[in-house]
Structure 1
Amino acid sequence: MPLTALIIDDEPLARQELQYLLERGGGVEVLAHGTNGIEAVDLIQTHKPDVVFLDVQMPGLDGFAVLKKLLDRKVPMPQVVFATAFNQYAVRAFEVNAVDYLLKPFDQKRVMQTIEKAAARLTTPAESASEAKLDALLRLMEEQSQGGKAHSGKVIVRAQSRLLLVNQREICFASIEEGTITVVTPTVEGHSNCRTLEELMDQLDPETFWRAHRSFVVNIQHIREVVPWFKSSYQLRMDDPKKTEIPVSRAQTKRLRELFNL
Structure 2
Amino acid sequence: MTVLKCIAVDDEPLALRLVETFIEQTPFLQLTSSCDNAVEAMSVIREKQPDLVFLDINMPNLTGMELARLLQEQPGTTPKIVFTTAYNHYAIEGYRVNAVDYLLKPFSYEEFLRAANKVLELCEETSQLPTVIDDEFIFLKVEYQWIRVSLKDVLYIESLKDYVKVHLVPPQKDLLSLISLKALEEKLPSSKFMRIHRSYIASLDKISAISKNSIFIDKAEITVGEQYKETFKAIVDKWIK
TM-score of the pair, normalised by structure 2: 0.50
Bigger strand fraction: 2
